[in-house]
A and B are shown apart, each in its own frame.
Chain A
Amino acid sequence: MTAKDMTDFSAEKVIEIKALNKAFGSYQVLEGANLDLYKGENLVVLGKSGTGKSVLIKIIVGLLRPDSGLVNVLGHKVDEISYQELLDLRLRIGFSFQNSALYDSMTVRDNLEFPLVRNRKDLTKPEVNALIEEMLDAVGLAQTINQMPSELSGGQRKRIGIARTLILKPEIMLYDEPTAGLDPITSKEINKLINDVQERYHTSAIVITHDLTCAKEVGNRVAMLMERRFERQGSFEDIFNSGDQLAQPFYDYNFIQ
């Protein structure tokens, strides 16, 4: 198992976060957090549960409002734009939920069709069908097209969730704990899928995880969220092979235990 190369990505920032603060009541989740996502890279955000990793990506996509700070996504300040502008921006961002969040009253086909027919009215029915088939092929689950979400396994649900997100051909992908609750083999398949998505659709991605194997396999760069801000940023090796006192316990827990 080797970490991905720190490829020389374009200097173009697709997400820029500066001095971000977010609290829930008296509980401060993020304080002065700074983070950039460059075009084409997979950035892994590592951190323990409850450190605000999911809050971060929900702020990026406009589901949560920051208390203060700059959140610039594809040139738009997400907390300053109108609701319609936010909806337009979301077309360019894919969000894969931790629990997949498939619409459980709809079949797999309907789940994939749902965002497409509402946002791509220019497409004909055969084109919609072709796109659905393409996305299901991309995640290797073409045979599940008529199944209900309740009939799928955890790994399959994750894949369908990613397919539903990909169908709008987003420029940025946000993965919330993509391997949480999955066995190691299925986790490996999901990691491969994340890399395939980056390669095939040229997406930039933030992958939220506490799984170091996932971080090592999919991340071009790693940012460690600790104590309400990003304490360490760099390649996997930079952070974990340097004997860093903050990062080491995390590494030991994942790989030694």
Chain B
Amino acid sequence: MSLEQEKTAETPKPVGKFGNLFITLYNVFGFIGRFFREAFLPPYEFKELMRQCYEIGYRSALLISTTGFITGLVFTKQSRPSLSEFGATSWLPSLVGIALLRTLAPLLTGLIAAGKVGSSIGAELGSMKVSEQIDAMEVSATNPFKFLVATRVLAATITMPILTFYTAMVGMLGALLNVSVNEGTSATTFFQSALENITYLDIIASTVKAIIFGFTIAIVGCYQGYHSSKGTEGVGKAANSAVVTAMFLIFVEEVVCVQIFSLFNT
């Protein structure tokens, strides 16, 4: 489907708010469907995929390190008084390990990536759209969807699980700092205690959530950027919508995933 064929399909019709909602949903699912059709068929854009993986990982690493470390540190500090009432401060590493891996790391990484990566994708593609760079790819017989969208969505989907486990690790380091200062616990004891209650299901759940969040962030950013209009105002709106929509969807997905994986836990 050419760019204009998509545009034509998206021309708003006077069908009221509900009608427009259904048209938008139809277009979004069409966009996702096109991703699955185009991402796995040749020609492949390996070089661009690798560049995007590096960009997404590198662009988020510093912020994720800082946030993860502080979260681990603060979470441990805030949890101590409650546990010490029951004389259970020795459970701190285990509590932090489970909390970080099951929920905090995927959620934190997802939210940070939504702000950092989602806005960047939305703004970049939006700016390419309004300056006709996407049209320029079209007319030079290159499929811009494959080059711009498929690579970014794949890269975010691949990179997010790596970033999530990195966040969990950095968060544990923050917790270790707090625990070793207050309890004098060694690193070996801390990690043994933190990891002994983590199950394969926790790791799988965390990975699945990270994959879903990565896919969501990139597909939302790409959709908003690819369909932006009205010049620089449109670019700003695309970036903003990319972040807000992705963050909202991440919370919804978190709730759904927790419900689904809790079934396996029981």
A residues touching B (Cβ–Cβ < 8 Å)? 25, 58, 61-65, 83, 86-88, 90-91, 93, 95, 97-99, 101-105, 114-115, 118-119, 164-165, 168
Establish whether residues A64 and B4, one from each chain, have CB atoms under 8 Å apart when the complex forms: yes
In the complex, what residues of A have CB within 8 A of residue B259's CB? none
Most chain A CB neighbours (cut-off 10 Å) among B4, B124, B141: B141
| B124 proximity list for chain A (CB < 8 A) | 105
Contact of A99 with B140 in the complex, beta carbons under 8 Å: no
CB neighbours (8 Å) of B66 from chain A are: none
Tell me which residues from 1 to 17 in chain B have a Cβ below 8 Å from any Cβ of chain A. 1-5, 7-8, 11
Apart from A63-B2, A87-B142, A99-B131, list 8 A-B contacts with CB within 8 A: A25-B11, A61-B139, A64-B7, A65-B8, A83-B2, A101-B132, A118-B43, A164-B136
Q: List 26 A-B contacts (CB under 8 A).
A: A25-B11, A58-B135, A62-B4, A62-B138, A63-B135, A65-B2, A65-B4, A83-B2, A86-B2, A87-B141, A87-B143, A88-B141, A90-B138, A90-B139, A95-B139, A97-B136, A99-B131, A99-B132, A101-B131, A101-B133, A101-B136, A102-B133, A105-B124, A115-B141, A115-B142, A164-B136
Q: How far is the CB of B148 from chain A (nearest CB, A)?
A: 10
- B143 contacts which chain A residues (CB < 8 A)? 87
Asked if A103 and B133 sit within 8 Å, CB to CB, the answer is yes
A90 CB contact (under 8 Å) in B7, B132, B140? B140
Q: Considering the chains assembled together, what is the distance between the CA atoms of A210 and B137 in angstroms? A: 26
Most central of B7, B140, B142, B143 by chain A CB within 10 Å: B140
Across the interface, which residues of A come within 8 angstroms of B140, CB to CB? Answer: 90, 95, 114-115, 118-119, 164-165, 168
Instruction: Please name all residues of chain A whose beta carbon is closer than 8 Å to the beta carbon of B141 when the two chains form the complex.
Output: 87-88, 90-91, 115, 118-119, 168
B4 and A101 contact, CB distance less than 8 A: no
Contact A97 B142 (CB under 8 A): no
Q: How far is the CB of B52 from chain A (nearest CB, A)?
A: 12
Q: Which residue of A lies closest to B139 (CB)?
A: A95
Cα distance, A97 to B43, chains bound together (Å): 26
Shortest CB-to-CB span from B234 to chain A, Å, is 16
Question: How far does the alpha carbon of A165 sit from the alpha carbon of B139 in the complex, in Å?
Answer: 9
Nearest CB in chain B: distance from A150 CB, A: 12
Residues of B within 8 A of A165 (CB): 140
Closest A residue, CB atoms, query B132: A101
Complex contact A65–B135 (CB within 8 A): no
A109 CB to closest chain B CB, in angstroms?
15
Give CA–CA (A243, B212) in the complex, Å. Answer: 68
CA distance A165 to B136 in the complex (A): 9
CA distance A62 to B143 in the complex (A): 13
Cβ-defined partner of A97 (8 Å) among B3, B11, B132: B132
Q: What are the 4 closest A-B residue pairs judged by CB atoms, nearest first?
A: A115-B140, A101-B136, A95-B139, A101-B132
Q: Which residues of A contact B7 (CB under 8 A)?
A: 64
Q: Fill in one digit per residue for B143-163: 1 if any A CB lies within 8 Å of its CB, else 0.
A: 100000000000000000000
Question: Of B1, B3, B135, which contacts A101 at CB under 8 A?
Answer: B135
| Residue of B with least CB distance to A165 | B140
Bound: A103/B143 CA distance, A: 15
For B73-98 the 0/1 string (1 means CB < 8 A from A) is 00000000000000000000000000
Q: Which residues of B contact A118 (CB under 8 A)?
A: 43, 140-142
Q: Could you tell me the distance between the alpha carbons of A105 and B133 in the complex, rounded to whole angstroms?
A: 11
* Given A83-B2, A99-B132, A119:B142 Cβ within 8 A: yes
Contact B2 A62 (CB under 8 A): yes
Q: Which residues of chain B are near A105, meaning CB under 8 Å?
A: 124
Specify which chain A residues have a CB less than 8 angstroms from the CB of B135 in the assembled complex.
58, 63, 97, 101
Q: Which residues of B contact A86 (CB under 8 A)?
A: 2
Q: A61-B139, A86-B2, A90-B141 are in contact. Are A104 and B133 (CB under 8 A)?
A: yes
A67 CB to closest chain B CB (Å) equals 10
| Closest beta carbon of chain B to A142's beta carbon, Å | 21
CA distance in complex: A210, B140 (Å) = 25
For residue B175, give the distance in angstroms from its CB to the closest CB of chain A: 39
From B3, B11, B133, residue with most partner A Cβ within 10 Å: B133
Which residue from chain A places its CB closest to the CB of B142 in the assembled complex? A118
> Which A residues touch B133, using CB under 8 A?
101-104
- Binary flags per residue of B102-143, CB closer than 8 Å to A gives 1, else 0: 000000000000000000000010001001110111111111
**Chain A residues closer than 8 Å to B138, beta-carbon distance:** 62-63, 90
A62 CA to B135 CA, complexed, in Å:
10
Which of chain B's residues has its CB closest to A115's CB?
A: B140
Chain B hits for A104, CB < 8 A: 131, 133
Given A83-B2, A118-B43, A63 contacting B131 (CB threshold 8 A): no
A57 to chain B, nearest CB (A): 10
